[in-house]
Chain A
Amino acid sequence: MSDPRVDTRLSVFKTYKLYVGGKFPRSESGRVYEVSDAKGNWLANAPLSSRKDARDAVVAARKAFGGWAGATAYNRGQILYRVAEMLEGRREQFVREVADAEGLSKPKATAQVDAAIDRWVWYAGWTDKIAQVVGGGNPVAGPYFNLSSPEPTGVVVVLAPQESSFLGLVSVLAPVIATGNTAIVIASEKSPLPALSLGEVLATSDVPGGVVNILSGRTAEITPSLAAHQDVNAIDLAGADEVLAKELEIAAADNLKRVLRPQTVDNAQWFATPGTERMTAFLETKTVWHPTGSLGASGSSY
């Protein structure tokens, strides 16, 4: 006789929620939409974010910016590495979610998740090196100390790639926060669940609330107000199609947001080791001058 408990146990579904300001709200609109796997089977209901949710995310990201940008690069690196650690522990869950979302076999989904975890580690190592690579002293023709250093641009809206629901997402998010920006991520519209689960990992990885905010819903519905938002400093159009990208770039001109245009990246290319472009796209260069004075022209021989 079989154990009746096995036969009758109903699995516990997960209610997926947004991740805004370190909390997990439902959409302010109270709306959800059906998310299916690659074969069209229902997986879960994801929050259908409203423009109000987007505005709340901007407020949270702005509030978090000073602290995150002001944290030491070493500290940011530690936290990014912590994200990788926490992901490693929930590897199986993400493999399942990515396999479901993208219709991948288990080995293929595993490769995606492993690459995504490794990417966090890669960017964790960049936080305290980027300034040395892209900044430096300038030999001006005069008695001045003159130093250029990179600084984060501010609040960055990231349209996650539509196809690569997790590796693509991590590949565009990690560089933005590695350099001290705060982010509002619009998850892949079709496959938002790995992104929403990532929020749960970030919340337990010492990433301060508001540094990353994750919204799910209709990309074309949420993003125009973010592209036009006066308190957003930059936008990464990775997940926008050509028509939407142009519309958002025009809206972004209103306060001269930094715009990273969509690049043609197929799913295989996300595996390649990135360059620094995704970091430098959201950095400003600050140059500080100071007189050095002169100790006289007598020509000391050291």
Chain B
Amino acid sequence: MTIEKRSSAFEYAPAPESRAVVDIAPSYGLFIDGEFVDAAEGRVFKTISPSTEEVLSEVAQAGEADVERAVKAARKAFEKWSALPGAERAKYLFRIARIIQERSRELAVLETLDNGKPIKETRDADLPLVAAHFFYYAGWADKLDHAGFGANPRPLGVAGQVIPWNFPLLMLAWKIAPALATGNTVVLKPAETTPLSALFFADICRQAGLPKGVVNILPGYGDTGAALVAHPDVNKVAFTGSTAVGKEIARTVAGTRKKVTLELGGKGANIVFDDAPIDQAVEGIVTGIFFNQGQVCCAGSRLLVQESIQEELLDSLKRRLSTLRLGDPLDKNTDIGAINSAEQLARITSLVEAGEAEGAERWSPACELPSSGYWFAPTLFTNVTQAHTIARDEIFGPVLSVLSFRTPDEAVAKANNTQYGLSAGIWTEKGSRILAVANKLRAGVVWSNTFNKFDPTSPFGGYKESGFGREGGRHGLEAYLDV
């Protein structure tokens, strides 16, 4: 009996989460100065559910005039917001955190609909972390004198923030929580494929009684983000997204006084040594690359396996991949949801084809893809060399490249052989080896015997072309303070 047959004999009953908890309006405006308003040019765009291609809502598309309006509102609000005692700012953030907890089921379903990621992840990872970020930074608001940046550190002013579509609400929390805690006001542009949770967040700001203009949300495309970043009255730019756009932003802010932090791409190495606990490592590899369909900047997309255990590990890994369940993201049993957009699916597809064309060996488990929506089966490549496109370029999808090594030095050299430096993983039972290897890896986050762990108290950010600055933790405050 083959594995496929056995799994069909014990098919899971569908366990869908109800959509009824979320009420999506047919259209949304921009959120400026505490009000939902139409875009000045009257433009709108549709946001769809990537798993079904169903139109969820029509959203106003911000242009330059709207950026102008929002920055003006944020500037006006800055005066009072920054002058507010930290303890009062803290209370607003605590309120927001609590409301997020209260509405977390609604937000989880919403995020799953708009982004395509499994409900299991929005419910158990995204939303708890979103609330935790607001709680963590709330507590800093009245303790900034103790943050190690000298007495009385000052906010910068208006923060222009541009976030990606892979963790829409979590990225919003990473950006807005520290900005508000330190006394800045914000204009945030969510990604064009996932604007909804940011607009729901606007409603949370309303419920929390946050003063008008402190948070402004401008859905739009890249040109909206570019206008925001270039706006002369923006004091701080925070961006999470592709390395190419990050470089463009670095050029835009050159010669200005704007402070900038960039969280960019990655090509994380996940290094498995011969003494690693295989089953745990396999789980870590799966989490590392298949969490959020691999659409994670710190994904462990390059698996480096010590040659002596390669065969055993690959057998185990393939067996595990065969048990992953791909399908309806709202189903609580789903492990792999939809790819965020048709465009992203096309990008993944073309890189994977390049991998095959260059001679790497492609493997996927038997896996039926739904007929509508954007889907990509979990994929792994063997016979990959460092020169291959798939080993060098960020694929940003559920695709794992497997390379091997013989010695720890070789592992380190291969892991560091990339222009990126965001994350890495180490799997070994030997403590001294963990510390020695972690020491030599040029990456901002090193997970040893675990992977893809996040926490608001823990700084996150990259070396080299993975960007600069850190988000999270005490370090994350620096980006929003005049230090």
Using a CB–CB cutoff of 8 Å, the interface residues on chain A facing chain B are 133-134, 136, 138-142, 144, 146, 148, 153, 233, 242, 245-246, 249-250, 252-256, 258, 261, 275, 277, 284-291
Contact = CB atoms under 8 A, between A and B. Distances in A.
Contacts of A138: 455, 457-459, 473
B117 interface: no
A256 B465 contact: yes
A147 B459 CA distance: 9
A279 to B, nearest CB: 13
Given A275-B150, A289-B448, A258 B443 contact: no
A76 to B, nearest CB: 16
B455 A146 contact: yes
B430 interface: no
Interface of B: 132, 148, 150, 243, 246-248, 250-251, 254-255, 257, 262, 264, 419, 434, 438, 441, 443-450, 453, 455, 457-461, 463-465, 467-468, 470, 473-475, 483
Contacts of B255: 242, 245-246, 249-250
A288 B251 contact: no
Contacts of B461: 285
A144 B262 CA distance: 27
A256 B464 contact: yes
Contact of A140 (B264, B445, B457, B483): B457
A250 B251 contact: yes
A142 B419 CA distance: 32
A136 B458 CA distance: 10
B264 A287 contact: no
A291 B445 CA distance: 14
B197 to A, nearest CB: 22
A253 B254 contact: yes
Given A138-B455, A140-B455, A258 B254 contact: no
A contacts with B: majority SS:
mixed
Contact of A286 (B264, B443, B483): B443
A146 B458 contact: yes
B243 A256 contact: yes
18 contacts: A138-B458, A140-B455, A141-B132, A144-B455, A153-B463, A246-B255, A249-B250, A250-B254, A250-B255, A253-B247, A256-B243, A256-B467, A285-B444, A285-B461, A286-B445, A287-B445, A288-B448, A289-B445
Contacts of B460: 287
A287 B459 contact: yes
B453 A253 contact: no
Nearest to A254: B247
B473 A148 contact: yes
A65 to B, nearest CB: 11
A73 to B, nearest CB: 13
A67 B461 CA distance: 25
Nearest to B254: A249
Contacts of A249: 250, 254-255
Contact of B458 (A133, A140, A255): A140
Nearest to A150: B475
B254 A255 contact: no
B471 to A, nearest CB: 11
Pairs of residues from A and B, 7 with the lowest C-beta to C-beta distance, nearest first: A246-B255, A253-B250, A249-B254, A140-B455, A138-B458, A250-B254, A138-B457
A253 B237 CA distance: 15
Contact of B419 (A146, A255, A275, A289): A255
Given A138-B459, A142-B453, A253 B251 contact: yes
A256 B264 contact: yes
A289 B468 contact: no
Name the residue among A146, A252, A256 with the largest chain B CB count within 10 angstroms: A256
Contact of A291 (B438, B443, B449, B463): B449
A140 B454 CA distance: 8
A291 to B, nearest CB: 5
B355 to A, nearest CB: 25
Given A148-B475, A246-B255, A258 B468 contact: yes
B246 to A, nearest CB: 7
B432 to A, nearest CB: 13
A284 B469 CA distance: 8
A84 B77 CA distance: 51
A174 to B, nearest CB: 20
Given A146-B455, A256-B246, A287 B254 contact: no
B419 A144 contact: no
Given A148-B458, A250-B255, A285-B444, 15 more contacts: A140-B458, A148-B475, A242-B255, A245-B255, A249-B250, A250-B254, A253-B254, A258-B468, A284-B444, A286-B446, A286-B463, A287-B446, A289-B445, A289-B458, A290-B448
Nearest to A248: B254
Contacts of B264: 256
B470 A285 contact: yes
A288 B439 CA distance: 9
Nearest to B129: A141
A144 B449 CA distance: 10
Contacts of B434: 290
Given A256-B262, A285-B470, A290 B458 contact: no
